[in-house]
Amino acid sequence: MEQNGNTRRAFLGKMVTTGIVGATMLSTAASAKGRTATVTPMTNAQKDHLFFIYQEEKVARDVYITLGEMYPNENTFASIQLSEQRHIDSARGLCTKYGVSIVGVNESSVGNFVLPVLQELYDTCVAEGSASLLDALKVGELIEVTDIKDLEEASVGMPSDVVNVYNNLKEGSLSHLDAFRSAIARA
């Protein structure tokens, strides 16, 4: 029982670390001015943060793919992983538009990440979720709570089109959060 408590604390610590990394990247982001027809230049810090969001969406999808394979009778993972792929597509589109290199990212390789902090987060989420179906659903809930927070923070100082995409991703994550909470209540 104590080991499970330590595992949970370690998992929560990794989730907090992920949010801190995102907040640190944001702290150096410059403010964008107004809406224009051309692409608003981004600082390197903003580009780094955009890449982080892109990879964070892949973490969610990949965790849901992996946990869905562990718990094939729980449809929540299967339905949300499809939505997470659309989130990845949206974030990838922003990376392309703003010249953010995604070299080295293999979207078809489940569980492999360029950013070490996100590799560790994936590994931790899968380990925590493998304990039981209820734990897996709680991992999904925590991923969505973290995504919502990171998207809100990531919007600060970004060009309006990025903010619009992030708001759409946040709406999707709110829906995912509701789905996981419903599944937790059923479990």
pLDDT tens digits along 100-145: 999 999 999 999 999 999 999 999 999 999 999 999 999 999 999 9
Q: Which two tokens stand for residue 154?
A: 């990531």
pLDDT per residue as tens digits for the range 61-101: 999 999 999 999 999 999 999 999 999 999 999 999 999 99
d(CA 142, CA 12): 8
Do the beta carbons of residue 140 and residue 15 sit within 8 Å? Answer: no
d(CA 137, CA 35): 40
Going from N- to C-terminal start, the domains of the chain cover 2-28+44-186
What is the third-level CATH fold of 2-28+44-186? Answer: Ferritin (1.20.1260)
Specify the residue for token string 């994936």. Answer: 122
Specify the residue for token string 């810090």. Answer: 45
